Structure 1
Amino acid sequence: MKEYDIAIVGTGPSGAMAAFHAAKNGKKVILIEKEKLPRYKTCGGGLVHRGRIRLPFSIDAVIEKEFFELEVFFEKSPHSFKAKRDEPIISMVMRDSFDQFLVNKALEKGAQILAQTSMVGLTKEVDGLHIKTSGEDIKCQYLIGADGALSQTAKLGGWKESRKLIPALEYEVKVPEEDYNRLSKNVRFDVDAVPDGYAWCFPKNGHLSLGVCTLKKQKIDLKKYYKDYLKKIEINEILESEAHGFQIPVGQRKDAFSKGRIFLSGDAAGFADPLTAEGISNAILSGELAAKAIVENFENEKDANEAYQQLLDQHILTELGNSSIIAFICYAQPAIRNILLSKYGQKGCEILTDIFMGKKAFPDDLKNKIKSRVPLLKFI
């Protein structure tokens, strides 16, 4: 049985960056990935600037397109807003090449990988953890579950499902050149194109990533709203199309993010943004924070757990809480939202863009300010 300091399940941005930082700090690290790499990952592929600048190396080699302007539209409303920045607000990536690039950076620091290998069992022992895989068994001191919405680590580690999982449908689409040229100039979001949710148009190299999602857990025919969205953005002909359905965790776990020697990060922990459903930037950050907490407190698992919680409180959880308040207004209270948009819409768009850029966080007293203007929020 091979022994490692840290085992990491999942090779998405969270797992790869946890491995990078842990290996860089001298820990013996193994990545466990059930698929053959590189592998397609269902995702819009929009990396906001705050996630990009969090990476300690350039990713220019895997950037498909950069967008310095975004547009937000609201269905059945006169409101629409644009924001521009001198640096790319959103950079487009294909997750197969992007994730592989991050994994390679971790391997360069000394991490090892077991691909096409699934974790099938987990035993907590006095002196560490015993991981049973579809290949060889592994012993480790700490385990980071970065294995996404369907996290096997969480299931085997004793977590009950407490995240809010919302449905999404994403298409990689090739369209006639005229339509591509028309739609490839900007990133576009259409709020209310789906009940309690939005649609998006993300231009890539030679094709579009189009998608629809609802931020409310409900039974819904997303294919219908996708077809309606095609009409809205005036796409009448599709040359090629590949559909992918998936779930996005937009609510964090309620029963801790680490238990003993087992830590959860990224979607496994539920760190996607409740307002935008964007998850890559917090996946990158939470992977780094999990590695930091473990590396700096390696000899004391209790201290490592406490350190991880403190880091999450400081860097992720407060902002997600504020984002959930705005999401409630945006999707569940459209009448109130439209009143606020008429007064503060462009200012709000600029604040959110700054957050995407990593320039500022939500104001500390945002929740109280909003509640003073929207009495209904005193109940949440």
Structure 2
Amino acid sequence: MNNSLYDVIIIGAGPSGTSCAYNIKRLKPDAKVLVVDKASFPRYKPCGGGVSPEVANYLDFSLEPAVDYKCNQVVMVANGKEIETDKHELWMVRREVFDNYLLEKAKSIGVEFIANCEVKDIINQNENSASVITEGQKFTGKIIVLAEGGRGKLAKKLGMLSSSTVLAAMEYEHYTSNLDGKLYIDFDYNSSGYAWNFPKSDGLSLGIGGHIKGKEKGNVGLPKKLTSYVSQFEVSQFEKSNLHGHPIQLFSGKSRLVCGKIVLIGEIAGCVDPLTAEGIRPAIKSGYLAAQSIASYLRTDKQKCLDDYNLMFYEQIGSDFQRARFVSFLLNQYMHKLLPILSTERAINAFMDVFSGKSSYKAKINLKRAFKFCLRVIF
């Protein structure tokens, strides 16, 4: 049984894990960093693949080689009406390419990586370290970072996972040369979410998502809704290998992301926009913020440096998502009343200002005014 000692062990090689690993090595080059993942890379990951160019602020290398397609034409469909804007650029990525590119960048500056390595447990936690148990191996780290994604079990096992809001999503990869290059967000196919069409260089990522609410769990009806939606894009039947269903764990409020020497980042930390379900940019940002706190801790050995990540996350990600959560709740409950009013060019441009990283929910949404406005409309 291997009992190697590392400064940092990161569980999960998605965008949050690899961006965290890369930035730790960039900020503290002598740190010994290990990333483990249960998959081998490159690997397919169900995802619309829309990324804000603002994500480049959290890495010091170009992401251009990993960008599949650049899109600046966005169409919002609501109440049978199409509203189009061309004022915002979004990057489209294939996750098997994008995630592997980030991983290779991390490895290029000395991050160690072990694939096909599923972590079974985290044990022997104390004020100085904790041990990661895999099949036949044990690795010890001063800090353990959980970047295991929304389906991860370790955070829950450690009692660090608070209540969460889950979006059920189903996606179909449609490979075709019949493309118009536009990104579509469609509210007419689902009363508790939206459908999407994210263009790629070789096809379309078509999907639909809806909130799982109490008694509706397991009965969201996405297959039927997706079948109806994709028919307009010349998809008459699904190739099963290109059809994927998966849950998305949305931001659900302020929670504890640091417990001793355990740190949560990415989707398991709530890094998914509760309104748009955007996850890649906030995941990378969380990895960047965690890396700053971890590098400070490794330099000073002060727990406060690690604990500061909680505050940094909430100030720079969580507080903005609280506003998105408020709007998402209203739309989910009163979509048929609010959509006619929000279906304007001004509204879609405000929406895309946030999605593209040009602005924030805090800048766009005054909670008091929004609440009064919704009361007037709903009642």
SS in 2 for 1:214: strand
Write the distance in 1 (CA, Å) between the matches of 2:12 and 2:204.
27
Write the distance in 2 (CA, Å) between the matches of 1:377 and 1:148.
38
1:253 is displaced (CA, Å) by 6.3
**Equivalent residue, structure 1, for 2:49:** 45
After the TM superposition, which residues 220-239 of structure 1 pair with which residues of structure 2 at under 5 Å, given as runs? 220-233=220-233, 235-236=235-236
**Equivalent residue, structure 2, for 1:99:** 99
Q: Per-residue CA shift, 1:229-274, capped at 9, x if unaligned?
A: 0234454477886111111011336541111111111111111011
**Equivalent residue, structure 2, for 1:357:** 356
**Equivalent residue, structure 2, for 1:56:** 60
**Structure 1 stretches of 5 or more lacking a match?**
none
Residue in structure 2 matching 1:207, options 203, 206, 216 = 203
Write the distance in 2 (CA, Å) between the matches of 1:138 and 1:241.
36
Write the distance in 2 (CA, Å) between the matches of 1:376 and 1:322.
19
SS in 1 for 2:142: strand
1:224 is displaced (CA, Å) by 0.2
1:195 is displaced (CA, Å) by 2.4
User: Do the aligned partners of residues 260 and 284 (structure 1) sit closer, same or farther apart at CA in structure 2, a change above 3 Å counting?
Assistant: same
Deviates more, 1:125-134 or 1:62-71: 125-134
SS in 1 for 2:137: coil
Aligned AA (1:9): I
After the TM superposition, which residues 199-278 of structure 1 pair with which residues of structure 2 at under 5 Å, given as runs? 199-217=195-213, 218=216, 219-233=219-233, 235-236=235-236, 242-252=242-252, 255-278=255-278
**Equivalent residue, structure 2, for 1:370:** 370
- 8 Å Cα contact 1:79/1:341 also seen in 2: no
After the TM superposition, which residues 294-305 of structure 1 pair with which residues of structure 2 at under 5 Å, given as runs? 294-298=294-298, 299-300=300-301, 302-305=303-306
1:313 is displaced (CA, Å) by 2.0
Write the distance in 2 (CA, Å) between the matches of 1:261 and 1:208.
42
**Equivalent residue, structure 2, for 1:67:** 71
Write the distance in 2 (CA, Å) between the matches of 1:33 and 1:376.
50
SS in 2 for 1:331: helix
Write the distance in 2 (CA, Å) between the matches of 1:308 and 1:203.
35
Deviates more, 1:92-101 or 1:299-308: 299-308
Write the distance in 2 (CA, Å) between the matches of 1:92 and 1:205.
9
Q: Per-residue CA shift, 1:303-337, capped at 9, x if unaligned?
A: 13431122112210111011112212333212431
Q: Per-residue CA shift, 1:63-120, capped at 9, x if unaligned?
A: 211101211101xx144322223xx622111111110100111112211111111111
1:339 is displaced (CA, Å) by 4.5
Aligned AA (1:310): L
**Equivalent residue, structure 2, for 1:110:** 110
Write the distance in 1 (CA, Å) between the matches of 2:103 and 2:233.
36
Give the TM-score normalised by structure 1. Answer: 0.90
User: C-alpha root-mean-square deviation of aligned residues, in Å?
Assistant: 2.3
SS in 2 for 1:252: coil
Aligned AA (1:165): V
After the TM superposition, which residues 167-182 of structure 1 pair with which residues of structure 2 at under 5 Å, given as runs? 167-175=168-176, 177=177, 180-181=178-179
SS in 1 for 2:105: helix
User: Do the aligned partners of residues 305 and 369 (structure 1) sit closer, same or farther apart at CA in structure 2, a change above 3 Å counting?
Assistant: farther
Q: Per-residue CA shift, 1:270-318, capped at 9, x if unaligned?
A: 1101111110010000011111112113345641343112211221011
- 8 Å Cα contact 1:23/1:109 also seen in 2: yes
Matched, 1:290 2:290: yes
Give the TM-score normalised by structure 2. Answer: 0.90
User: Do the aligned partners of residues 320 and 253 (structure 1) sit closer, same or farther apart at CA in structure 2, a change above 3 Å counting?
Assistant: closer
1:146 is displaced (CA, Å) by 0.6
Matched, 1:191 2:187: yes
- 8 Å Cα contact 1:171/1:241 also seen in 2: no
Write the distance in 2 (CA, Å) between the matches of 1:37 and 1:375.
50
Instruction: Give aligned-pair identity as a percent.
Output: 27
SS in 1 for 2:170: strand
**Equivalent residue, structure 1, for 2:337:** 336
- 8 Å Cα contact 2:58/2:288 also seen in 1: no
Write the distance in 1 (CA, Å) between the matches of 2:137 and 2:207.
39
**Number of residue equivalences:** 367
1:134 is displaced (CA, Å) by 1.7
Aligned AA (2:55): G
Aligned AA (1:332): Q
Aligned AA (1:352): F
Write the distance in 1 (CA, Å) between the matches of 2:8 and 2:264.
13
Matched, 1:309 2:310: yes
**Equivalent residue, structure 1, for 2:146:** 145
- 8 Å Cα contact 1:174/1:207 also seen in 2: yes
- 8 Å Cα contact 1:43/1:95 also seen in 2: yes
**Equivalent residue, structure 2, for 1:31:** 35
SS in 2 for 1:297: helix
Write the distance in 1 (CA, Å) between the matches of 2:58 and 2:127.
36
Write the distance in 1 (CA, Å) between the matches of 2:370 and 2:232.
32
- 8 Å Cα contact 2:21/2:291 also seen in 1: yes
